[in-house]
Amino acid sequence: MKVIFLDIDGVMNSTVFYKERHKRRWRKPITWWYELKYRFRKLFGIQSKGVSLADYKPPKKSFTFNYQFERLQEETCPQKWQWLSEWCNETDTKICVSSVWKHHFGIEGYVSTPERWADALTELGFKEGTFVGITGDRRELRGQEIQEWLDKHPEVVDYAILDDDSDMLPEQFVRFHHSDPWFGLTPNHLYRIDRQFKKEENYENLILRRK
């Protein structure tokens, strides 16, 4: 089994993605309405009614899969999901979510339901069975979380890490594919992972030559 440890922020979204989304929002009349409303209140010193956090209760819909999936779609780039899903489907590569987003799906009582990621990935175009889990408890280094997951899954024959942060273990850098948060995932990342899986790039020797 080949696995990609997938980060979300800085990989499946990016600075460019958020800049473009911001531009699209200003094309909507509702955005101008809220901006005018804000400026009117500020001009005349009108205070908005405060809401006590102690009395706040999340709406029931926030615990539904549809609501959580829509939030995921809003915060990530559909083009990047298309690139990744098509490549994973073609190469039969699995996904383990290592991002802080791994607990994004949950039910009332703030109970994490990571199995919903399987349904989410299917909705995003991945074939069934692509999702194989999430990494465990938070550690000082994300690489430690990844290694603990690998220790429990000896069936993994090769893996790659897609992340915009480099808090990995030294021995993992030969399989670490850095994502620039300015643009996030590109087809070039998948090209390099494919060459790694096919042993067409000797990353171990490349790193040794740098020492």
Q: Is residue 168 part of a domain?
A: yes
Q: Which domain holds residue 66?
A: 2-22+62-210
Q: Is residue 154 part of a domain?
A: yes
Give the pLDDT score at 35: 60
Per-residue pLDDT reduced to its tens digit, 135-171 = 999 999 999 999 999 999 999 999 999 999 999 999 9
Per-residue pLDDT reduced to its tens digit, 6-29 = 999 999 999 999 998 876 564 566
Burial environment of residue 66 by CB neighbours within 10 A (0 to 12, 13 to 18, 19 or more): exposed
122 residue type, one letter = T
Q: Is residue 31 part of a domain?
A: no
Check: CB of residue 161 under 8 Å from CB of residue 5: yes
The answer for residues whose C-beta is within 8 angstroms of residue 26's C-beta and 6 or more apart is 32
Mean pLDDT of 120-134: 97
φ and ψ at 57, to 5 degrees? -130, 125
CATH code of 131's domain: 3.40.50
Q: Which residues pair with 134 in a beta bridge?
A: 97
Cα separation, 5 vs 146, in Å, equals: 8
Task: Measure the CA dihedral 172/200/81/16, to 10°.
Answer: 80
φ and ψ at 11, to 5 degrees? -120, -60
Check: CB of residue 13 under 8 Å from CB of residue 181: no
Q: Is residue 51 part of a domain?
A: no
Cα separation, 132 vs 5, in Å, equals: 10
Q: Is residue 169 part of a domain?
A: yes
> Of 133, 128, 164, whose CA–CA distance to 146 is shortest?
133
Q: DSSP for 33-94?
A: HHHHHHHHHHHHTPPPPP--TTT----GGGGSHHHHHHHHHHTS-HHHHHHHHHHHHHHT-E
Q: Is residue 30 part of a domain?
A: no
Percent of the chain scored above 90 by pLDDT? 70
Q: Is residue 33 part of a domain?
A: no
Could you give the number of structural domains in the chain?
Answer: 1
Q: Is residue 41 part of a domain?
A: no
